Structure 1
């Protein structure tokens, strides 16, 4: 049976918790799932979530969310999905490296516990979440998986290297999908290394702009200004190179110390023929990572980062082009679940439904 026929005959309705600007939602919609609502504490995500996805945005902290508020949106469809990609900061490599040997429990970890409680109360047909790889080793995640199995969910989770699935970005993520009375299977990689999408594949078609400028026809294609010092630095940078390639006078004082030699990824240019580095919330700053454009003397633009996160090129993040805060839009883009990952989990769920037909 074709995917189109299966979708037409079987309504799959989803609610996206921690929805942000809608990366996961957009991906699930692309896969054929009807995402009707999203919850998030960041009110600035309301416009992009609703405008691009025709779904309702509810500004609310998931930790105080009642099951009935979600049930209202899920209704009584044949199949229901609850997605909960909680903020990843407590589980990131950087966060864990800066904690003491025996850290106190981070309160943000409780967001996953809150999600678990909502799943236990609602028992939707499908559950999905995505987070950083470090979460897999945490007790809070292991307890979550045990709870899902106790509720009789089939559970599959996998550490995913995103280029293996068509994303032009070296992001690694932990992806989980669970099905109630439905066997779910996260598929093997779809791309070999020789098939990886590259920075050139994704952003080379965009018009050139200078640091601090934007494209009139697409105000999202704008980059941050550069100081005179940083302009000289990026001019001295080669794609894939490091600040060690610079003349001595351009190097930052902190990099001249022995401890600074470990931070070779900052102030770097991307390479055209490789996937980009992981897009973080600070990609708009040239000095914050390997976020320099491969050729142009600037950091990548907001649009370029959104494309590397696999958002459609017409995805809008603001309603007023004259009032754009680069910082908060960069945060929305960097925090988003890549759309292609949303499509991946959406297809896993649709395939599980189709297998029953």
Structure 2
């Protein structure tokens, strides 16, 4: 940490494998702990970040348990991304019971803010959350804070994928500099710039020196399909015998983005939990006849090339790792949030605490 950087101690709720934490640390924020219910997050979180992983359901956390972590600096930050599945366009069916539980986690986050009263709060989530009453309910927990939020297109801050996320910043120090706007204007990063130097592999091949650089095998039909696919194209480019029966129906014709290749010189589509599957979106490699590897997906989420997801000798489980990578906060977004909060604290140092009505500044 630079000696001129204000000492902000943070706890990352719903930390996952550490995307938000890693970004905050890169910006100079002192993350003291990460909390998540999923035991598979422990190794990647702790192997890449100098903070303990607390395996707990956030619903079971008390404010007293977090106080000691938040009191390590001159300023405190409670950060997090409550599970977004109930609001995601990728999972809208069959989730009524789980949806209620996930809403409860958003409100639990708010209740912890109200009880702990940290100097700073940030929440990152899917854009659709802003349309739900649970977000309005969450804002009620922030009484006494200046609050700024907006839906951010991540390409504007240097993330090489099209990904819209709701980002909220809240502070007890006033409004000055409380914005991500100063982080906008980064050059658009492309798929080629992010993953173009990785070694070639075939479908079903795992790279010898990087077990995460592994792409699932393809059926004979899907191998024929990807060979017929153009970067940025759709299955409509194929010969008729390659088109799946479900896409020949009128209802299927509205889903042109499945079975597609990425384009080298554009950002990738949104990396989802099923990003390793060629048939699940435009997740085909731009030139190699395979889906992107798990390592490529992680790098498009702006995890460093050497970010550790697997302990030595641990087997790759595509569904598990795809879920962990796809659900992560892009590291670069976390870094931009951290940069914005540090600049805000610098500008606000020595000024009286002020509050302002919640609005949309950036």
Q: TM-score, normalised by structure 2?
A: 0.92
**What are structure 1's unaligned runs of at least 5 residues?**
none
Instruction: Tell whether 2:39 aligns with 1:47.
Output: no
CA contact (8 A) 2:86 2:99 kept: no
**What are structure 2's unaligned runs of at least 5 residues?**
351-362
Q: Distance in 2 between matches of 1:344 and 1:221?
A: 27
1:101-141 deviation per Cα after TM superposition (whole angstroms, max 9, x unaligned): x9997321111100011001100011001111111111111
Detail structure 1 runs of 4+ shifted over 3 Å in the superposition: 102-105
1:128 to 119, 122, 127: 122
Q: Distance in 2 between matches of 1:123 and 1:55?
A: 22
2:149 to 150, 157, 181: 157
- Correspondence list, 1:1-357, <5 A: 4-7=2-5, 10-95=6-91, 98=93, 106-148=100-142, 150=143, 152-183=144-175, 184-188=178-182, 190-191=184-185, 195-355=187-347, 356=349
Q: Higher helix proportion, which one?
A: 1
Cα 1:75–1:5, aligned 2, differ >3 Å: closer, same or farther? closer
CA contact (8 A) 2:14 2:34 kept: yes
- Residue 298 of structure 1 and its aligned partner are, at CA, apart by 0.3
Cα 1:200–1:172, aligned 2, differ >3 Å: closer, same or farther? same
- Residue 186 of structure 1 and its aligned partner are, at CA, apart by 2.1
Q: Distance in 2 between matches of 1:134 and 1:254?
A: 28
- Residue 320 of structure 1 and its aligned partner are, at CA, apart by 2.6
- Residue 77 of structure 1 and its aligned partner are, at CA, apart by 2.4
Cα 1:104–1:202, aligned 2, differ >3 Å: closer, same or farther? closer
Q: Distance in 2 between matches of 1:176 and 1:109?
A: 17
1:44-72 deviation per Cα after TM superposition (whole angstroms, max 9, x unaligned): 00000001002100111111211111113
Q: Distance in 1 between matches of 2:98 and 2:184?
A: 40
SS in 2 for 1:27: helix
1:242-271 deviation per Cα after TM superposition (whole angstroms, max 9, x unaligned): 111111111111111110001111000000
What's the C-alpha RMSD, in Å, of the aligned pairs? 1.9
Residue-pair matches, total: 347
Q: TM-score, normalised by structure 1?
A: 0.93
1:158-208 deviation per Cα after TM superposition (whole angstroms, max 9, x unaligned): 11011111111000000001111242222256337xx31110111100010
